[in-house]
Amino acid sequence: MRMRELGNGGLKVSALGLGCMGMSFAYGPPGDRKEMTSLLHAAVERGITFFDTAEVYGPFTNEELVGEALAPLRGRVTIATKFGFAPDPADRTRWSGLDSRPEHIREVAEASLKRLKIDVIDLFYQHRVDPEVPIEDVAGAVKELVSQGKVRYFGLSEAGAQTIRRAHAVQPVAALQSEYSLWFRTPEEQVLPTLEELGIGFVPFSPLGRGFLTGKIDESTTFDSGDFRNNLPRFTPQAREANKALIDVLTLIGRQTNTTPAQIALAWLLARKPWIVPIPGTTKLSRLEENIGAASIELTPANLREIEDATAKIKIEGARYPESLERVTGR
């Protein structure tokens, strides 16, 4: 597995990371702990060094899983986690909104360090921009944690260009994590140019469109009752039917290169910029190995032009989130 540098601050990680959320949260029942531990170990053995989690995943259980599984391998891995949500005082298994107050950031850092069984958080993201807390205060709180040796690098998630600039002026931002793939390209408008200008790395989450870009989901696919895709406009049967045109493009390029649609989708992201590190998630070893295979695929300029020309003619149907969730993204 090749390595990439996220930003210009020295944070080097594998070209592909592993998003761990789905092992505990959001896509149905949590995975078997022993099986997920084995999967995390397999990822390290195959060259992945970058693992993504958050306190909200579970909540808390995903950090505990990642911490326990990777503790014996700590010297070989980089662990990213996140702060920024407020637990419901009446039920700490639920979340009541956003909270990036400096005192809460410090509380989350201490709790995450314990759950992850580590002495320092490698990359600490603000999970979502909190409109009630100036981003300068957020960056200042993380700056203090960096000076105390509790955090190595500061990151943002789903932040807009101006927010990134304001935060970066207080504490250098090593990486931005946001959704980015062939079916959600909004970051190209303002965010990617800003990151390139400031020397900040980019970590696309949902690089496979929450599974859609694998080509294994169609209009007849059913999800577990606890799978949050049941609530996403882009995953209605009608939207899935309309968006199959994108899968047709990936399948065509895959046939030409003897690769899968998922591998083409990831290889396309890797070809965009040398400071982009996608974090596809999975609970299956076969999918992990398939995704890792994308890191060795070199799409030709002709391949890339063909993808651009074909996808430019496709209108993606369905919003990525319901309006209630979209209000806390992309600020």
Per-residue model confidence as pLDDT tens digits over 257-300:
999 999 999 999 999 999 999 999 999 999 999 999 999 999 99
Helices (H), the chain: 33-45, 61-70, 102-116, 135-147, 161-170, 191-198, 237-242, 244-257, 261-272, 285-293, 301-311, 323-326
What residue type is assigned to position 25 of the chain? Answer: F
In a domain, 254, yes or no: yes
Whether 57 is catalytic: yes
The catalytically annotated residue of 57, 125, 153, 180 is 57
- The total of other beta-carbon atoms located within 10 Å of residue 125's CB is 27
Q: What is the pLDDT of residue 116?
A: 98
In a domain, 331, yes or no: no
Q: What is the pLDDT of residue 48?
A: 98
Q: What is the pLDDT of residue 93?
A: 66
Q: What is the pLDDT of residue 51?
A: 99
Q: What is the pLDDT of residue 328?
A: 62
Q: What is the CATH number of the domain that holds 7?
A: 3.20.20.100
Q: CB under 8 Å to 61, separation ≥6 — which residues?
A: 24, 25, 30
In a domain, 250, yes or no: yes
* Total domains, the chain: 1
In a domain, 282, yes or no: yes
Peptide bond into 233 cis (omega under 30): no
- 90/92 Cα distance (integer angstroms): 7
- Full domain range(s) for residue 83: 3-326
- 92/86 Cα distance (integer angstroms): 9
Look up the pTM and report it.
0.97
Which residue numbers in the chain have pLDDT < 50? none
Q: What is the pLDDT of residue 329?
A: 57
In a domain, 58, yes or no: yes
